Structure 1
Amino acid sequence: MARIKRKKNTIKRNIYQHYGIILLQILLSVIVVYFFVMAWQYGWLMLILLLIINVVLLRQRMKKVNVLKGGLKGEKEVLRLLKQLPRRYDVIVNKCITVRGKTIEYDFIIIGPTEVSIVEVKNYSGKLSGTIEGNQLTQSYPKQGRQSKQVKNPLKQLSRQEEFLRSYFNQQNIKYPIKGYLYFNNPHLQIQLNKWDKRIIQSEEKLLNKLKINKKRSPQTKKVYQSINYHR
């Protein structure tokens, strides 16, 4: 089984922050309503108005929480999958790398015998369409009748992560191959792009096959691991 190194999960932190805001919102509403009801004969009108506003705001907030929960669930499923790699692999989860004052967080960095793999996980549903060169793609839901929306192109995000890690390696005087993979953990997601990118993966088996390398461990591997794992 691969060796797993977990870092602080920003998705969990964001979920807790949203829950905290929801509780604060409810508490403030109760306090405001209490004083209006006590001091104003039409306080019940304020109560109705605040209830409507709260329902709208809570629905928006819970949508964000549900998106974050979906991402967290996807990461857990991928971690379960990556544990199947041989012990000579190191899997670093939710690692932040900083270069020249700029920081990027990686879902998974897998340090193999002769290369480093970046795995960016997306938990999309419905249909994803557009051009791989564009900054945004369209996520639609043909079978559900929901409104389509624009999402940031995850391939662009993956490319930035690859270049950023290469820049970090250059800074550390490390020469080690880097490969990036965009893993959609929903096998029912329809992908319709103007052309295919070989970094896109939807199959668990294919992802493991891409990561497994039947080669001897490079002398650089230990240095790569230490440089990434102990980076602050």
Structure 2
Amino acid sequence: MRLFAIGDLHLPGGDDKPMDVFGPQWDRHFLRIQENWQKLVEDEDTVLIPGDISWAMQLEDARADLEAIGSLPGSKVICKGNHDYWWNSISRVRSILPSSITAIQHSAADLGEATVCGTRGWLIPTKEAPLDAQNEKIFLREAERLRLALDAAKNIAGGRPLIVMMHYPPLLEAETDTLFTSILEEYRVHTVVYGHLHGAGIQIGFNGEHNGIRYHLVSCDSIGFCPKIIL
């Protein structure tokens, strides 16, 4: 088994929502993702998708997008992004998923050779942009949800690598030590994949190793609309 990741697919959710309004690089982006995916991913592989999957507002409207993802090779693991408004209760989401997709929400999944867990995350405070009271409350809640996910993963890992999916970046190029990274280090996480950053924002994301953990920014436009192998 190989492990890939690609996030922020931003599928249309039943509406005509062309993504090229965000730049020509998004023209027919899902067709390009499908072509690259089919070239690279085998049925025994797993692809992690850390959020912003569909623009759908209601769960039923996301069904076609989920089926399109489900039809691609390999197993898939998804977590929620900030634009996944269709994602309400985890039990309802799981009830409509194709058999090749597993949804996690501050929980974990056994991949065989590794264990993956995930949560959405939130904006991280920086010196230039501290969080207001409401955002700090959400940030701290997401930190606790990350702990819940890691506890669930630790219970089933049995010494195998811990892989974490987050939608929001847990660190930035200029802000590498955060509450999220301290929790990830405490649990001796192997690899973290995250998305959320697009366009010029890609430049502030962190890719590489920090304090023994490998971080991958995998929003689809940051990796050329091609699943990235991470393990």
Q: Structure 1 length as normaliser, TM-score?
A: 0.30
Larger radius of gyration: 1
Higher helix share: 1
Q: Which has the higher strand share?
A: 1
